[in-house]
Amino acid sequence: MQALVLLHLQHPFLVWCAVGAIFVSFEVATGEGRLIFATVAAVATGVLAAAGLRGAVEPAVFAALLAFEIAAAARIRARRLARRSALTPAPVLVIRPRTPMGGSEGSDEVNELSDADAMPAPVRRFGG
């Protein structure tokens, strides 16, 4: 443990890059795509540490960068889902009674139709 502390004091960039490498190895093992943010935050913290940021501020900077990246990714995913749901029309459900030839009377059949297959409702005009 003392060797790790001495390494961090002499080369903080290398320690943060090692933390990033650990996150990348877990990312490769799981394939989820969620640990990339932690990797980027660790490497950015390492760059800031190499530039002169030292002491107890490093973990706080890492946590702040990680929170920012996760919030940005959540916002991007929400926009993609909203755009995708706006482009995909909901299916139209039509309930029709079965004919005596198609099955028992009185049972209902539910069919899914796209917007192109749906028949428009008849328009009835009264009084004129």
**Residue 123, domain member (yes or no):** no
Count of domains forming the chain: 1
Phi-psi label, residue 33: left if phi above 0, alpha if psi -120 to 50, beta otherwise = left
User: Is residue 124 in a domain?
Assistant: no
In this predicted structure, what is the pLDDT of residue 97?
61
Instruction: Decide if 110 is inside a domain.
Output: no
Predicted pLDDT of residue 1: 80
Given a cut of 60, whether residue 100 has pLDDT beyond it is no
3-state helix, strand, coil in the chain (%, to 5): 60, 10, 35
Quick: pLDDT tens for 27-69.
888 877 778 888 888 888 888 888 888 777 888 888 999 899 8
Does residue 47 form part of some domain?
Answer: yes
Domain assignment of residue 108, yes or no? no
Instruction: Give 89: exposed, middle or buried? Use CB within 10 Å, 0-12, 13-18, 19+.
Output: exposed
Please tell me the distance from the alpha carbon of residue 110 to that of residue 62, in angstroms, as a whole number: 54
Q: Is 111 domain-assigned?
A: no
Range of the structural domain that residue 51 is part of:
2-87
Q: What confidence score (pLDDT) does residue 72 get? A: 87
pLDDT of residue 50: 85
Q: Is the pLDDT of residue 103 over 70?
A: no
